[in-house]
Amino acid sequence: MEYLAAIIGATATFLLAVYTIRARQLRPSEVRLQDLGPSRAVRIETDDDGRPMLRRNASSIPALSRMLNARGHAQRWAIDLERAGLTLRPGEYFIMRVMFGALAAAVVTLIGRNPVAFLVSLLVGLVVFMLPAVWLRMRVRSRINKINSQLVEAITLIASAQRAGFAFAQGVDVAAKRVGPPMSVELNRMLLDINLGASTESALTAMNDRIQSDDVDMVVTAILIQRQTGGNLAEVLDNVTETMRDRERIHGEIKTLTSSQRFTGWVLSLWPAVLALGFFAISPSIMSLLWTTGGGLVLLGLWFVLNLMGIFTIQRILDIDI
């Protein structure tokens, strides 16, 4: 009965998280107008240079908002959530992480029902609390990779529009209509900033700050330099496109050369779990000692933590920057 209650609670938490993420999908214009309009959820602050900037509150709960802002988590999480394409506030993101960690700790405690299980549950709860942060970084990286893969096509369309006599904003609009998300979302947000009164340079810089991609930074820098010094923008974009294609070719070659090492890393990481399932199929009574005794729970928790560390370490070693 306790297991069923724990499973139902975990499922309800997951569905609540999915519903919250999908229910608050706003159009870019709505988000921008909320930032510019008067609202209790928005406050005006100044950055290190004394320039005014708008920031949303981390949460509708004042105490939680103050806590996250005091520790500096609110602004960092807000940037990461925006880069990941999520509509969550930092406070909602923090509450979901706490709920997932608490549910995982409760499940381990109910399974073991002894003091050792309680200590292991604290470790498992901490690991589960950190897993959404890992997922968020993976989602940010995946979104950046998608933008980078669409960037060459978008630049080619803008360069073609420049040759046809279109203005820069019109070329960006053509590219936004031809390429799919997430590149089209960022281009439309840049056009929205321009239509709402921002300069082209400011809109480009804001887009670069949102995405934080080396490829996008190279393109934006080239465009800003061209707008200051003059010259043929289409030719500049063609040179940037050629450089990006060369980088993509080198990246593909490196990925091919390290594919066997990546496969080996995943095999070494997943092989213990496969063996555990095989042993459980052969002798369930012996394998059940891992989650019914204190010593077994300790070993299971250590395996889980060390296995995750091994996966991340191997991936970091094989992640070669170009």
The pLDDT tens digits of the residues spanning 20-75 come to 544 444 455 555 554 444 333 333 344 444 433 444 556 556 666 676 766 667 77
Write the pLDDT tens digit of every residue in 125-166: 888 888 888 889 889 988 998 998 899 899 999 999 988 888
pLDDT for 58 equals: 60
What number of CA atoms fall less than 13 Å from residue 299's CA on the CB side?
12
What distance in Å separates the CA atoms of residue 10 and residue 14, rounded to the nearest whole number?
A: 6
DSSP string, 63-129: HHHHHHHHHTHHHHHHHHHHHTT----HHHHHHHHHHHHHHHHHHHHHHH-SHHHHHHHHHHHHHHH
Average pLDDT, the chain: 77
Per the document, the length of the chain is 322
Pull the structure tokens for residue 236: 């500049």
pLDDT at 105 over 60: yes
What distance in Å separates the CA atoms of residue 283 and residue 300, rounded to the nearest whole number?
A: 17
Pull the structure tokens for residue 275: 């063996």
